[in-house]
């Protein structure tokens, strides 16, 4: 589904942050992306979300060379990707419910077709009592769970999550991991960037380890 070949990335005139990355992310696969702070995990997720272009190398995504995709087609392609940003990026003027429902609304779906799904997912991530509040009122962990629900609601082909359990306690981290695994079982490829060793120890999954700009993969 995604193929990287000799991909390199530098910001401006700075040093190369990612070097010669060659790997595949197969359909329906599940992997952790890890490595020391500053190793480039967020940068790699941004490449996968097509919000950064590589400085060299080739990226194929959904069978297309991303260098030849016109800019105005990128939003359509990104709709096939769910993403949980480290800083959540919820819209402060929309309620929790509206934030989570947004991907479906943008796709032109009728609210009656998704309302119960959104409410069920919000209940699952422990936000059943917070559906009508605005994000500034939510705690860090609640914002994180709302961001996760928004990324999952439209059953993306691939889910990218940047430290998705960074703000929650271990039982909730386990619950969220179960949610990612269930989504994966239903066919979504999952990439979870994390430092959390105890989280990674809970599942046998592929590990992509970034260090000094290089990537090692342990299947």
165 in contact with ligand ATP (CB under 6 A): no
d(CA 55, CA 8): 6
Supply the minimum distance, in Å, between the C-beta of residue 53 and ligand ATP: 13
Beta carbon of residue 47, minimum distance to ligand ATP (angstroms, whole number): 10
Asked if residues 54 and 44 have their Cβ atoms less than 8 Å apart, the reply is no
Instruction: Give DSSP secondary structure letters for 153-206.
Output: TT--SEEEEESTTTTS-HHHHHHHHHHHHHHHHTT-EEEEE---HHHHTTS--E
- Least distance from C-beta 189 to ligand ATP, angstroms? 20
CB of 42 to ligand ATP, least distance (A): 3
- Between residues 95 and 194, which has the closer beta carbon with respect to ligand ATP? 194
Shortest approach of ligand ATP to residue 40 CB, angstroms?
4
**Of 17 and 101, which CB lies nearer to ligand ATP in the complex structure?**
17
Give the residue with the Cβ less far from ligand ATP, 17 or 173: 17
Question: Considering CB under 6 A, how many residues would be counted as binding ligand ATP?
Answer: 11
Q: Could you tell me which stretch among 9-17, 22-30, 60-68, 168-176 binds ligand ATP (CB under 6 A)?
A: 9-17
Residue pointed to by tokens 């790699």 = 44
- State which of positions 25-84 bind ligand ATP (CB under 6 A): 35, 37-43
* DSSP-derived secondary structure letter, 113: H
Q: Are strands 64-65 and 56-61 parallel, antiparallel or unpaired?
A: antiparallel
Nearest CA among 163, 168, 160 for reference residue 127: 168
Contact between 7 and ligand ATP by CB under 6 A: the answer reads no
Q: Residue 113, Cα to own-chain centre: how many angstroms?
A: 25
CA 179 to chain CA mean position, Å: 13
Between 99 and 194, whose beta carbon lies closer to ligand ATP? 194
Least distance to ligand ATP, CB of residue 65, Å: 23
Whether the Cβ atoms of residue 167 and residue 179 lie closer than 8 Å to each other: no
Residue 76: exposed, middle, or buried by beta-carbon count in 10 A (0-12, 13-18, 19+)?
exposed
Tell me whether residue 154 or residue 162 sits nearer to ligand ATP (CB atom). Answer: 162
The reply on whether position 17 binds ligand ATP by CB under 6 A is yes
Give dist(CA 142, CA 126) in Å, integer.
8
CA-atom Rg of the chain in angstroms: 17
Q: Among 6, 11, 26, 73, which residue interacts with ligand ATP (rule: CB under 6 A)?
A: 11
Applying CB under 6 A, which residues contact ligand ATP? 11, 14, 17, 35, 37-43
């Amino acid at each position: 589904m995604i193929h990287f070949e000799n991909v390199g990335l530098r910001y401006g005139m700075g040093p190369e942050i990612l070097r010669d990355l060659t790997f595949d992310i197969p359909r329906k696969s599940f992997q952790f992306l890890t490595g020391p702070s500053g190793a480039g995990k967020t940068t790699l997720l941004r490449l996968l979300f097509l919000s950064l272009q590589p400085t060299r190398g080739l990226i194929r995504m959904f069978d297309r060379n991303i260098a030849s995709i016109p800019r105005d087609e990128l939003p359509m392609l990104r709709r096939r990707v769910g993403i949980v940003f480290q800083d959540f990026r919820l819209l402060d003027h929309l309620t929790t419910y509206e934030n989570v429902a947004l991907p479906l609304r943008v796709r032109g779906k009728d609210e009656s077709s998704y309302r119960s799904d959104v409410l069920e997912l919000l209940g699952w991530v422990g936000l059943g009592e917070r559906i009508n509040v605005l994000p500034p009122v939510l705690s860090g962990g609640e914002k994180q769970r709302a961001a996760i629900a928004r990324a999952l609601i439209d059953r993306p082909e691939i889910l990218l999550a940047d430290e998705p359990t960074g703000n929650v306690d271990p039982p909730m981290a386990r619950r969220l991991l179960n949610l990612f695994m269930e989504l994966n079982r239903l066919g979504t490829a999952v990439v979870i960037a994390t430092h959390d060793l105890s989280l990674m120890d809970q599942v046998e999954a592929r590990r992509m380890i970034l260090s000094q700009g290089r990537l090692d993969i342990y299947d």
